[in-house]
Copies of this chain bind each other. A is one copy, B any other.
Amino acid sequence: MSSESSESPDPAQQGPAHQVTSADVARAAKVSRTTVSLVLNDTPSARISERTRERVRAAAEQLGYVPHAAARSLRAGQSDLVLLPFAVAAIGGLAAEWVDRFESAVGELGYTVVLHGDRVPEPLAAARAWARLRPAAVVASDDPRLTADAARVLHRAGVRAVIASAPAPVEGVYTLIVDHAELGEAAVRHLLERGCRTIGVVMPTERGLATFAEPRLAGARRAAAAYGAEIVQLPMRCSEEAAAALAVLCRELGLDAVFGCNDEYAALLCAALGDLGVAVPGQIAVAGADDLLLGRVVRPRLTTVRFHPPAPGVLAETLHALVTTGAAEPLPPVRFEVVVRESS
């Protein structure tokens, strides 16, 4: 494979062909580098004749000049990066679409969104890794590593906005309250209202999911307490085999309902119960959470809890306000809604 037509057969072989800088454009247009900068950035105060502007733009185009973001933000003292420290696999289908729309929204405000998932468990080490990039903002979601200390490291590195969703406010972080306990409570209250009194709660054993699972369980307990009902913890891996084993256990324990913690686990368990001949919801009712496509594909369709995050555009403006003015109106807590379908 060769990429450069006639000049040179293979640029990958001959080392970087000399990166094009604004100095090259200046030489080509026979002006100073200053002029190039003024023209290409449309600096309002600059008094450059239209003829010169044309020359500069033509030269830039012809040379294929692309500004160097790092150099620019170094000089500017502030970058246009917005860092989302997520591992891709940790983003569900629903959230993925939200992320994409958020990306468009902040993109229109001139930011460059960047996802960077690392496996660093220690909060300060993770924060340092993020800080190296000197982003203008960091937007995390229920990431337990985003502690007050981590936020301090980020602010020290010049990060202007640190945003996170979390069950409770974190010092130095603009916190969007997402109370998973409330979600668990809503799901289990629904099952209680259906008359169920012995309710299993699936606890995913995959690392990282504990952040959601623990508070959801706590909420489930809260709901059960009000009805004098019983809660049973059900550890489970995200696999068919684990689901099959757990289904047997559910029957043995005589549960009359299970909160799956998440649509994936709920659907897996639901299918396993069906294979066992257990009627859903007749003998055991099942509810999931997060309203994934999955829940509408299985039969019976899965009852789930859908949550309503702020519109991406709204959060984008909040971010922009934080970056520019250092403050922003707090957003209302994220609300949940039980979507009753056929599994309960």
Shortest beta-carbon distance from A140 to chain B in Å: 15
Q: Are A153 and B3 in contact (CB under 8 A)?
A: yes
Q: Which of B91, B114, B134 contacts A68 (CB 8 A)?
A: B134
Given contacts A100-B117, A115-B114, contact A10 B157 (CB under 8 A): no
Provide the A104-142 mask, 1 if CB < 8 A to any CB of B, else 0. 100100001111111100001000100111100000000
A162 is an interface residue with CB less than 8 A from chain B: yes
Given contacts A107-B118, A240-B296, A267-B297, contact A19 B158 (CB under 8 A): yes
A143 is an interface residue with CB less than 8 A from chain B: no
Q: Are B100 and A88 in contact (CB under 8 A)?
A: yes
Q: Are B299 and A271 in contact (CB under 8 A)?
A: yes
Q: Which of A39-47, A171-179, A212-220, A247-255 contacts B (4 or more CB under 8 A)?
A: A171-179
Q: Which of A69-77, A184-192, A196-204 contacts B (4 or more CB under 8 A)?
A: A69-77
Q: Which of A25-33, A144-152, A224-232 contacts B (4 or more CB under 8 A)?
A: A144-152
Q: Which residues in B have their C-beta under 8 angstroms from that of A133?
A: 69-70, 112
Q: Which of B113, B128, B158 contacts A16 (CB 8 A)?
A: B158
Count residues on chain A whose CB falls below 8 Å from chain B CBs: 87
Q: Are B89 and A169 in contact (CB under 8 A)?
A: no
Q: Are A132 and B68 in contact (CB under 8 A)?
A: yes
Q: Are B155 and A17 in contact (CB under 8 A)?
A: yes
Q: Are B115 and A116 in contact (CB under 8 A)?
A: yes
A11 is an interface residue with CB less than 8 A from chain B: yes
Q: Are B96 and A88 in contact (CB under 8 A)?
A: yes
A180 is an interface residue with CB less than 8 A from chain B: no
Q: Are A299 and B299 in contact (CB under 8 A)?
A: yes
Q: Which of B4, B14, B156, B326 contacts A20 (CB 8 A)?
A: B156
**Most B Cβ at <10 Å: residue of A1, A64, A79, A174:** A1
Enumerate 24 A-B pairs (CB-CB under 8 Å) in ascending A order: A2-B171, A3-B171, A3-B173, A12-B160, A12-B162, A14-B326, A16-B158, A19-B158, A64-B156, A66-B156, A67-B132, A70-B70, A70-B73, A70-B74, A74-B74, A88-B103, A89-B97, A89-B100, A103-B117, A112-B116, A114-B116, A115-B115, A275-B299, A299-B299
Q: Which 5 A-B pairs have the closest CB atoms?
A: A3-B172, A70-B70, A115-B115, A11-B155, A89-B96
